Structure 1
């Protein structure tokens, strides 16, 4: 199957999905102009190369072009090496995203036969919190529960070591335990719709201790204001005298001064929708409408923010000689409002999952038996409230190209007829 690397998103997503599906289904591929849609450096980066090499070994694949900066890749799998998948240590060799690496290798871990009844244990060393990629917290709190919600075995995660890669090349690690589907099994089609009202919001704050209490207060205050204005609604609306149902997890970032916030909305039906933000990225690009970290990479235009949020005063500009801590502290109120506004925007479309989660479900729709459906939202019943992102459309295009002969079809409305992949 020939794949032009400049198609749609034209970046690493195309490569990761293509090689992951190719390795599992033993479908030879030839990718040209790899990451040719990127304005900067093109070709395979270290993280993509790590995925290619690991999947090559796992599927006994012959490869040509599996080297850094390569613009072309031939990948010809010859069968799953089952015994080699029991316990793995994967070192990306750079602060490349651990979560994106997991996305590439997880299908083969879940859908290939396991000679043992024990889970497969994988440790990935690389970037734990990486700009423009899903964080460890997002993967643990949103991705893993959503995969369990659609019927896949629960993936257990634990943080080995956290390092922040915004300003340095340090690497951390994450441990995963993956229980594969039984040999001969198929994955039943799933439906995600009617997510139900939000019961609570869980906020994870990773920041220096001096910011934590203030951030909690600002987030609570903004959510309370949004609730009164009906920008955020809960299953049980708090009265004017009650605080909104928000709980917090607090963590210090170690030796760095990084501040990071993840907000996750929990619904009555078990759905989780999340959005996150780094203070450093917000402060450096506060002129943009939104800067949710992984949404920028995966979904083109930034999320629209509410009129109330646009009217909020931004912190005054600071000279280069100002103390960085003072600058960060001054930005906290607007930072808190931005991340709450992003969550409100994610909930406003009415879809069953957040925008970033949507593209991560595509491969599992393609592998499922029967028609799977993910509701993309409603707008008075007249039209879709949310168009598919470039990353979602790219993943759908790749899966159709590789699995069209097996009957895979996406309808462009959140539905997909899967191939009914049989494990083994």
Structure 2
């Protein structure tokens, strides 16, 4: 039985999710001790972990022990039975955690690899359907939960990247938003997904393999890693109380226009910022902003697009009183109503906020998101730090070599969904972040440029793919989440091979039965 210490690396829930996902696929008996042992407010399984492990156990006929909220040790012994799933939009797999604030995206992280390779439904004659049918799944829980990817991040960053780079197609719908803040008896969030089967490497073959469509975005000249990508489109999502929607849109447009990374030529005075969705959140404690930047296609191919996303999820209740004058001077919103799918905002780069409490709050939120996004893009690479660690498991399972690098020598924060505060699934006070955010650029300049890569190359990424990385402990460039994810894949999949400081992966070409 493979035994993992849950305190290894980032020591949180990601280790559990990846380990169980791969164990379910491979039939590897697994034991995890000290579950989430690095968490300040106590470790142990959370409701979203239990929901995912329980479902995978049922799907693989696994014997389990210790799978309950708060448990610090559990075992998972699958019989490696890929059950046929006779699902449809009217008969989906249902995954529901014990608490409404448990993150649906974190549940999905644990079950998605299995769903990609699970056998399709059977025909009335009892034989596998041909072609294999998609798998429908409804997830119940939190869709906008602190320290976890939101539905909007999955929808706009992760899922498009999985489709472009790996050919993984996932239809998705946010049926009902579910928040970790607001009324205690608010409606549970619902996410509806349709996971399409992987294409076979050979037509009508029994085995189904994950074949990357864009296996490598690594430039031949490693020095190009340090260049700042040219952004061709920025999209924004805003969910907030009704009277904050327009002020937030104005602050975002102004901050984007004045940021030289996002708008290389701010002297043009205007920025065309696409608002993907603007809608009321339903409560004064619910403020969510997501900015997604992307590059252009490569040789006209969508697969070459790179995406960076950073967001803000507030947990404080807005204090009304000294409210500003509404839409900031210079902001012109056109096209669509609140809640529409597409909206544009044009703002003069020289315009100033009108003052007042709302304007100060909106400016602070916008400044944080814009600075975070600009810092991610300035590091170069193929996407943001959160995207990188979520791609690791798919790289390990894929056929052939993949390389999705982060900016070399860039400073990374070890952030994740499990920096808990007592009594909640994961929240963070907003007012404590302003000064740190405003100093972000200075900190990156001071610390990031001098950080040594973990492979001991002294800052020069030689990318020698002939020498494998030392996989005995978390390794490679990027965040500690990414380093830990690579380590877990190496433990459960001994054939996986990482090299060049974690930037190159030779996957195991895992195949699932039709």
TM over 0.5: yes
**Structure 2 stretches lacking a partner, 5+ long:** 122-128, 201-205, 220-227, 298-304, 320-354, 410-448, 450-457, 462-475
Match of 1:320 in 2: none
Aligned with 1:191 (options 211, 216, 222)? 216
Tell me by how many angstroms 1:356 deviates.
0.4
Superposition deviation, residue 328 in structure 1: 4.8
Alignment pair present for 1:223 and 2:223: no
Name structure 1 gaps, 5 residues minimum. Answer: 285-315, 317-325
Q: Deviations over 1:113-133 (max 9, x none)?
A: 324432100001001100111
The residue aligned with 2:192 is 175
Q: SS where residue 309 of structure 2 aligns?
A: strand
Shift, 1:408, TM fit: 3.6
Counterpart-to-counterpart distance in 2, 1:168 and 1:140: 26
Q: In the aligned structure 2, how far is the partner of 1:75 from the partner of 1:382?
A: 41
Contact 1:282 1:335 in 2 (8 A): no
Q: How does 1:113-132 map to 2 (within 5 A)?
A: 113-115=119-121, 116=129, 117-132=132-147
Matches within 5 A, 1:369-388: 369-378=399-408, 383=460, 387-388=477-478
Matched with 2:115 is: 109
Quickly say closer, same or farther: Cα 1:402–1:268, change in 2 above 3 A.
Answer: same
Give the TM-score, by structure 1 length: 0.83
> In structure 2, what is the Cα distance between the partners aligned to 1:283 and 1:4?
41
Aligned to 2:308: 273
**Residues 197 and 233 of structure 1 are in contact (CA less than 8 Å); yes or no, is this contact kept in structure 2?**
no
Q: Which residue does the alignment assign to 1:309?
A: none
Q: Give 3-state SS (helix, strand or coil) of 2:208's partner.
A: coil
The CA distance in 2 between the partners of 1:168 and 1:282, in whole Å, is: 12
Aligned partner of 2:398 in structure 1 is 368
Question: Equivalents in 1 of 2:500, 2:79: separation in Å?
Answer: 31
Partners of 2:240 and 2:288 within 8 A in 1: yes
- The match for 1:263 is 291
CA distance in 1, matches of 2:229, 2:404: 14
Q: Is the 8 A contact 2:84 2:118 kept in 1?
A: no
Residues 177/420 of structure 1: CA separation in 2 closer, same or farther (3 Å cut): same
* Aligned alpha-carbon RMSD (Å): 2.8
Deviation readout 1:292-339 (Å, 9 max, x if unpaired): xxxxxxxxxxxxxxxxxxxxxxxx9xxxxxxxxx75553111221111
Aligned counterpart in structure 2 of residue 202 of structure 1, from 235, 249, 252: 235
Tell me which residue corresponds to 1:323. none
1:344-359 aligned at under 5 Å gives the runs: 344-359=374-389
Q: Residue 223 of structure 1 aligns to a residue in which SS?
A: helix
SS at match of 1:66: coil
Are the counterparts in 2 of residues 110 and 178 from structure 1 also a CA contact under 8 Å? yes
Shift of 1:276: 0.2
Kindly state the Cα deviation for residue 279 of structure 1 after the two structures are TM-superposed. Answer: 3.8
- Does the CA contact (< 8 Å) of 1:400 and 1:410 recur in 2? no
Higher helix share: 1
- Give the deviation of 1:283 after TM superposition: 8.9
Given that residues 46 and 70 in structure 2 are in contact (C-alpha distance below 8 angstroms), is that contact kept between their aligned partners in structure 1?
yes
TM-aligned CA distance change 1:188 to 1:73, over 3 Å: same
Pair 1:120–1:92, CA change in 2 (3 A): same
Contact 2:247 2:358 in 1 (8 A): no
Match of 1:16 in 2: 17
SS of 2:45's partner is: coil
User: Where do 1:50-199 residues align within 5 Å?
Assistant: 50-84=51-85, 86=87, 87-94=92-99, 95-115=101-121, 116=129, 117-169=132-184, 170=186, 171-181=188-198, 182=200, 183-189=206-212, 190-193=215-218, 197-199=230-232
Q: CA deviation at 1:193?
A: 3.9
